[in-house]
Structure 1
Amino acid sequence: MNDKRGEKLKKFRLFLVLFFSLSSIACKQKTLYFTPEATGYIYDSVTKRPLSNKIGYLGFNGSTPSSASIIKLEANGHFTIPAVTSSYYFIRPNVRQYMDAPAEIFISYDNYEKKILDYAPFIWKQVPERQSGFSYYKKINLGIIYLDPEKP
C-alpha cells in the first residue's frame, strides 16, 4: 500500500512540475508597439542652430500620454520620443484606437510656432514591410526639424 501511495505522490509531483513549467512558458509577457521610437533634432528655422536644452511637448498625436510628452532637448537639439507600447500576458488589449490614430507627431516649444509632422513617409522608407504590425519594435530617424519662431 505504501508503494502505491509513493507512486501516486511521484506522479502528482511530476504533474505539478510539468504544470508549472508549461504555465511559466505560457505566461511570457508580450508587448505591442503602437508607434515607432522616433529620434531627430530640432533647429530654429531662422538661425539654423539647434534648440539647446529646451523643454517642450513632443509626442505621437493621439497616442502619447500628456505626462510622457514633456521632452527636454539635448544641447545639440537631439530628442527621442519613446514608442507607445502596451504589455500583456493572456488577453490582448484592444488596438482599434491605435489603428485609427494619425501618423503625426506634435511639436510645441515656447517662443516657437507649434508644428504637426506627418511621420508616415519615414515609416515607409525606414521600416521593412514585414515589420509593419504592432508586434515589432520600430525606430525611425526624423532628421532635422525646423521650427519657426513665433511672430510678435
Structure 2
Amino acid sequence: MLPQTFIRVSSEPFSVEEAYRMTADSQQDGAVVLFIGKVRDLNLGETVQHLTLEHYPGMTERSLQAIAEQARSRFAVNTITIIHRVGTFALGEEIVLVAASAVHRHAAFMAAEFMMDMLKTQAPFWKREVTNKGAQWLSPSPQDDIAPQKWINFNKDEST
C-alpha cells in the first residue's frame, strides 16, 4: 500500500474512530499513534470559558500538508492524518487530531510528536481565549517556540 496523507480543517466535530480507521488501514503497519488535543479549563492560571480558533483557508491546509510531508521525510511512517477544527469551542471539546501509522511504534510516536511540535508554531491558526478576566489572542508558549529545535539535527535512522 502506498503512503497516504489525510488533511482536514473544519468546524465540524471529528470522529476519532473514523480517523483511526483511515490511519490504520494497512496490514503492513503494526503501530498507530493518535494524539488528540482538547480545550482545557485553565491556562496561565486563569479559568477558561471558551476558545475560538481562526485560520486562513487554503494556506492552512497547505501548511498542514507541508508538516505531514516533513514528517514523512524524517520518519518511516505510512499513513498520516491531521484534522484541525476551527470555530468556537467549549471546555473539553476536541480541536486537533494527529495520527501516524508505521511498521514499528517508535516511528509512529516520533512522527506524531514532530507534527504537533510543528503545528503549534508553523500552522496559521489564531487562538482567542475568553477567561474570567476577558478575551485575549494567544501566542505560542515559550515551550511551543523551543519544541521544534529538538528536530533540527534529528537523523531519520533514529526513527526506525
How high is the TM-score relative to the length of structure 2? 0.31
> Which structure: larger Rg?
1
Q: Which has the higher strand share?
A: 2
Q: Which has the higher helix share?
A: 2
How high is the TM-score relative to the length of structure 1? 0.32
